[in-house]
Structure 1
Amino acid sequence: MTICAAVFDAYGTLFDVSSVATQCEVFFPTHGQTISTLWRQKQLEYTWLRSLMDNYVDFNQINHDALRYVLGQLDLPEEPATMEVLVGMYTDLPVYPDVVPTLEKMGNIPLWILSNGVSQTIEQAVNNVKIDRYLKGVLSADSVKTFKPSPKVYDLALKALSLPAQDILFVSSNGWDVAGAKTFGFKVAFLTRQKKPPEELGQKPNFVIDNLTQLVDLFGGRHML
């Protein structure tokens, strides 16, 4: 199998979005984990719904709206300063422990991020955890004003890399994203961080891994090209 480049989803794949639960707990004792879980779920729902309605706003606004909904759902106060701090955490998310070792060993091929997030937000997060040195660039759904799993978003990788879809490995921990990328034509690795099976959407990943470092084992490091 020829793999000439790898493209990674950002949230939940490289960046640990569940880490916001700690700060949520500071502001809302006993509710931190619940807020974090519901907030992420509502983010995704809003990206899908706005895509279907053709009523785009960028992911920063999605993030804010989703948090506001969850706080209302839990009957918790929506203080603007608190909202700003929590939403702002998306520029300073930690990466999972397996991210840096994997990116270091895959440096023989171009590595990119393809995300629903706004470029500036993702790039700031990338710089804060110092993984920019391993990446060729960040591709954002914001440039086509819709969200994954729209083919318009995945097509950004083809245009940026000048490669056919079958020569690109797409890596995501989100089952719906895996199905979308495989439908588009990428080779796909499903990273099972959430210990869930692939979605039943008529497309199965080429590879199922439970740790990013397995990518290096699968493709033999320098022999991926």
Structure 2
Amino acid sequence: MVRGKLKKVAGSLVLGVGLMSGSVMAGDVVEKPKVLIFDVNETLLDLASMRSSVGEALGGREDLLPLWFSTMLHYSLVSTVTRDYHDFGQIGVASLRVVAQNNGVELTDEQAKKAIITPLLTLPPHPDVKEGLARLKAEGYKIVSLTNSSNKGVQAQFENAGLLPYFDARYSIEDIQIYKPDLRSYEWVLDKLDVEPEEAMMVAAHGWDVAGAKEAGLQTTFIARPGKALFPLSKKPDHVVKDVNELADILQ
């Protein structure tokens, strides 16, 4: 499929959103997306619930949870660049052991798995998620997910979080073994959806995710969850919102 550039056409939605939200400037014309593509971990599901299990594994250092997750993302990119694929769960376990070693904590593979696997599969949704998704679905949007987690992993996560009814499809990079934010991961899901880049919007709480999607030509929304910030050198997303409900306000 040939991917075109964003077209400003008659009948497009005029989004007069202020500077406080970091969205498009008032008067800019942006075509409404046909498909909303949601990231999963931290965007929809609250990773904070893993603080106790990860902290216990790291000798009481609950403050190291963000470092573990960023280390996992770091080595997922290493996996893609070196073409040495390991699934996200394996990388998560190995990354926890790296963080433990760097902080003088002895941690076995089994201990790392216990701290990560079950808690990661049972993450609760953020309080705004179900209401926001229901509103977007009621507006007629096709809603899908694109995650670095495995197919079985995201299936279990959505079942446990009660999110299955809100999604038309779930996509995992496991099928192509190329982690986000590699541009090929976004191009792959666009082909699966049979839409042009400008017809889809990536929604994520990670600056690196919206940066990758933006470079691939998608519309983007950054959900500014606590502790999350955009990378100043990346292209700005089309919208910056505090939660899924605010996105629903914009797209209604």
- Map of 1:51 onto structure 2: 80
Q: Take 2:133 and 2:226, find their aligned partners in 1: how far apart are those partners?
A: 21
Q: Which amino acid counterpart does residue 105 of structure 1 have in structure 2?
A: R
- Map of 1:169 onto structure 2: 201
In the alignment, is residue 69 of structure 1 matched against residue 98 of structure 2? yes
Q: Which amino acid counterpart does residue 61 of structure 1 have in structure 2?
A: Q
- Map of 1:140 onto structure 2: 172
In the alignment, is residue 115 of structure 1 matched against residue 147 of structure 2? yes
In the alignment, is residue 212 of structure 1 matched against residue 241 of structure 2? no
Q: Take 1:136 and 1:86, find their aligned partners in 2: how far apart are those partners?
A: 31
Q: Take 1:20 and 1:38, find their aligned partners in 2: how far apart are those partners?
A: 13
SS in 2 for 1:62: helix
Query: Quick one: which of 120, 123, 144 aligns to 1:90?
Result: 120
- Map of 1:38 onto structure 2: 67
- Map of 2:215 onto structure 1: 183
- Map of 2:235 onto structure 1: 203
Could you tell me the TM-score, scaled by structure 2's length?
0.82
- Map of 1:223 onto structure 2: none
Q: Which amino acid counterpart does residue 39 of structure 1 have in structure 2?
A: W
* Structure 1 segments unaligned to the other structure (5+ residues): 221-225
- Map of 2:16 onto structure 1: none
Determine which structure has the larger helix proportion and give its number: 1
Q: Which amino acid counterpart does residue 79 of structure 2 have in structure 1?
A: R
Q: Take 1:78 and 1:123, find their aligned partners in 2: how far apart are those partners?
A: 28
* Structure 2 segments unaligned to the other structure (5+ residues): 1-30
Distance change in 2, residues 1:27/1:10 (3 Å) = same
- Map of 1:3 onto structure 2: 33
- Is residue 57–residue 115 contact of structure 2 (8 Å, CA) maintained in 1? no
With 118-127 and 20-29 compared, the bigger mean Cα shift is at 20-29
Q: Alpha-carbon deviation of 1:195?
A: 4.9
Q: Take 1:217 and 1:160, find their aligned partners in 2: how far apart are those partners?
A: 28
Q: Percent identity?
A: 24
Q: Alpha-carbon deviation of 1:54?
A: 2.1
- Map of 2:108 onto structure 1: 79
Q: Alpha-carbon deviation of 1:33?
A: 2.3
Q: Take 2:197 and 2:99, find their aligned partners in 1: how far apart are those partners?
A: 37
Query: Quick one: which of 54, 57, 77 aligns to 1:24?
Result: 54
With 108-117 and 16-25 compared, the bigger mean Cα shift is at 16-25
Q: Take 1:92 and 1:197, find their aligned partners in 2: how far apart are those partners?
A: 25
Q: Take 2:240 and 2:145, find their aligned partners in 1: how far apart are those partners?
A: 19
- Is residue 47–residue 147 contact of structure 1 (8 Å, CA) maintained in 2? yes
Q: Which amino acid counterpart does residue 237 of structure 2 have in structure 1?
A: P
Q: How many residues align?
A: 219
Q: Take 2:245 and 2:175, find their aligned partners in 1: how far apart are those partners?
A: 31
Q: Alpha-carbon deviation of 1:38?
A: 1.5
Q: Alpha-carbon deviation of 1:98?
A: 0.9
Could you tell me the TM-score, scaled by structure 1's length?
0.91
